[in-house]
Structure 1
Amino acid sequence: MSTVMSPHRHKSWSLYLRKGALVLCFSLLLIGITVSSAFANTHAQSAAAATSTTSQDTLQNVIQLGGAGPGGVAMIDKKVGWTLTSALRRTSDGGKTWQTVAQPADQEMLGQAYVLNGQVAWYLTYDSQTYAITALYRTNDGGQTWKRFAWIDANQYLQTLSVADNQSAWISTSDSNSVSHLFLVGGTSQDWQEATLPAQNGSYYNYFTSQTTGYTTFVNSNDNGNNSYTLYRTSDSGQNWAQLNLPLPANVPATAAPTNIRFLGFGNQQEGYLIAAFGDTNSYTIYNSYIYRTQDGGQTWQIDGGAVPANTRVIQIDNWHVVNAAFAFVAIGGKVGFASLQAGSWDVENVTLPSNLAAAPFLSVLSSNHLFVSAGTSDYTAQNLYDSQNDGQNWHQIASIPN
């Protein structure tokens, strides 16, 4: 139950490494616009400590690795984690040792990896000469075995990947004519089953909670070049879509429109969260972002709490749901804002990261006090992994993982 977006066209990581400074600048700009979410697979605290009636189910969302080059450690719990460098690796001892669970075949190179939990992950491969996508691979046993899905068409470019369950994923693509498509992969006897979208022209970001129920946000660009988002829901595997309207916050003008919608995840089939930013699409006026919560399987959404504090990279909702910024480029100042929503009120804590990070860090959050951070070395030959079990007050280096 998760979604991540991939670049429209792809280049080898060697190009990223040669253009490291440009990648970092672009990523910083991208993070300023929207921060990709990921999930930590843990129950945060006991029910006695809860300050609201929010359920104890952890939000689920994919963690993308390799979106801006090699590196990044996604820790799922205290023991299990994944990283993508020259190969896809997995740890089961808290990051001390790493085992290679996937590596490219001849004439291919690894692309992005998409981690759902300790057992389920997907990854892409590309032709090493043409950079065209060649296949998707899926494991549901922690990388011991992989199923290969030959790519649907060399002229289809990946937009988003949403993991529906242990077997299947929803893939949205754009073809060479800029027409969008939606496919269920691994859900039926056919490897690829095409579904419909509300319209074929435009960009989509998809989030599915099952093989039948999911959401898509259609991105419109007006004459001024500003984007607005329209939210849709399907309950019949994409055969039909119903438009959903988010209630406007009290201090946002009636003329405002959603300028970004991002799913934070569902804890179960009924309860889920998204974050929406608002703006005036006829100007460059941007208003605040707000958290929305559903308790009826996404049919209706209500505002949860006040405006999201500015410049925060991590959001913890009501002690139960931990959502972390995957590639949180927070090297400037060495701090990351940790925003916690409890009983409708926000509390922000600045967490100080290790002082000797050579590159922008990749942050994993298991709970409000147990954090992992990884960062590449200055020569791109390895990445160092640290953890903190006291809210980032002290950091301990666990390993140096060769790229």
Structure 2
Amino acid sequence: MTSKGKTRRAVSVGLCAAAVAAVLAAPAQAAQAGHPMTGQDTALAWSLKDTGTDARFRGLAPVSRKVAWVAGSKGTVLRTADGGRTWLDVSPPGAAELEFRDIEAFDSRRAVVLAIGEGEASRVLRTDDGGATWTESFRNADPRAFYDCITFFDSRHGLAMSDPVDGKYRILSTGDGGRSWKVLADDGMPAALPGEAGFAASGQCLVASGPKDVWLATGGGSTARVLHSADRGLHWTVAESSIPAGDPARGVFALAFRDRTHGIAVGGDYRPDQASPQAAAVSGDGGRSWRQSKTPPPAYRSGVAWLPHSRSVALAVGPTGTDVTVDGGRTWRTVDTGSFDTVDCTADFGCWASGEKGRVARLEF
């Protein structure tokens, strides 16, 4: 990297730190009153982008501040290359009956999208030309399987997960960027709890960090758990979280790890008439143990992401708002009341969120 490039990066990191400091110092009463996050109140603001559709986008794959992909209901996939000013409809032909819940993009041309559902409704498609054409690389033939999330370690190696089949979560693996998939042996997978499953709510029930570490979030059983693999899904360990479960609507909905050690879990009860008093937890040992957040978000949250180049700042989103933490997930503060399902950030501070009624936004500093 040139000295000029290093200087630009240092300046951008400094600006991010200044923005976060302003968030911390902003008047707390603004958030308590349910005031939207705006430039007048804090240094962070969601800038809504007109997508021209009413699809619900639970799948989100930002590449940079300029390039992002979203995937959602009615088989809809959109791509922007100008920071959200314009969106190109790159939906796969004949996919209107599919429900896309997760998408992973490597750049402006290469992406892999996951459709969810029982049996053949669960599929994986890949594009290498910006969505001009798509190739179906996997179609689930087992009526007992229901795929929820997909993640990649790099541009070649990735995994997808299904709800338990024969009492264990099923894991798909690819080593060629999603062009082909194989079901991994389940010898190293712990048994699932009765009623336990993953939540296809934000594309964050299966997340990777680094070349081999991956975590899987669960709910619906007697305990909300987080499973961890350090060898790309061959062997797993399991830990209980502090997020309440015991009901099909409760559990861990999303995970984010800024490295192989520090993680955040969010969730709760997705039913709008039910409280979620313990909707977040943190881990400092790679997911082996979880501690309840001292001041969690006030309601169910389905998506979470670390701000880039930060060891302590993260965002959580859900149908009732956006929360920010500046202490690694121990305490959260609501800074916006708009509805989003998922959130993700890129190294150049391209933080994006998406959700119902075609809502997509980019974070502005």
Report the TM-score range of the alignment, normalised by the length of the smaller protein: 0.5 to 0.7
What is the CA distance between 1:156 and its match in structure 2?
Answer: 4.0
Tell me how far 1:215 sits from its aligned partner: 3.2
- In the TM superposition, 1:18-167 aligns within 5 A as 45-46=15-16, 70-72=55-57, 74=60, 76=62, 77-84=64-71, 87-105=76-94, 109-117=97-105, 119=107, 121-124=111-114, 132-133=120-121, 135-139=123-127, 142-143=130-131, 146-165=134-153, 166-167=155-156
Is 1:233 equivalent to 2:228 in the alignment? yes
Match of 1:243 among 227, 233, 238: 238
Superposition pairs of residues 314-329 of structure 1, within 5 angstroms: 320=310, 321-325=313-317, 328-329=318-319
1:140–1:273 distance in 2 versus 1, CA, 3 Å: farther
Normalising by structure 1, we get a TM-score of: 0.53
Q: Give the superposition deviation at 1:92.
A: 0.7
* Distance in 2 separating the partners of 1:340 and 1:347: 5
SS, match of residue 110 in structure 1: coil
- With the length of structure 2 as denominator, give the TM-score of the two structures: 0.57
What runs of 5+ residues in structure 2 fail to find an aligned partner? 1-11, 22-53, 199-204, 245-249
Letter in 1 for 2:67: V
Closer, same or farther: CA 43–187 of 1 in aligned 2, 3 Å? farther
TM-superposed CA distance for 1:299, in Å, is 5.7
For 1:81 and 1:276, how far apart are their aligned partners in 2?
A: 25
CA distance 1:322–1:145, shift in 2 (3 Å): farther
Residue identity in the other structure for 1:153: A
Structure 1 spans left out of the alignment, 5+ residues: 1-41, 52-68, 222-226, 253-258, 279-283, 331-335, 354-359, 377-382, 391-403
**8 Å Cα contact 1:158-1:171 kept in structure 2:** no
Verify: 1:288 aligned to 2:278, yes or no: yes
Which AA in structure 2 matches 1:207? L
Matched with 1:311 is 299
Pair 192,266 (structure 1): closer, same or farther in 2 beyond 3 Å = same
1:264 equivalent in alignment to 2:255: yes
Given the superposition, is the C-alpha separation of residues 83 and 260 from structure 1 closer, same or farther in structure 2, using an over 3 Å criterion?
A: closer
Structure 1 position 348 matched with structure 2 position 333: yes
8 Å contact kept, 1:374–1:386: no
Name whichever structure is richer in strand by fraction: 1
Decide which structure has the larger Cα Rg and report it.
Answer: 1
One-letter code of the match for 1:232?
L
Task: Calculate the aligned-residue CA RMSD, in Å.
Answer: 4.9
How many residues align? The count is 288
Identical positions, percent: 15
Tell me, what secondary structure is at the counterpart of 1:311? Answer: coil
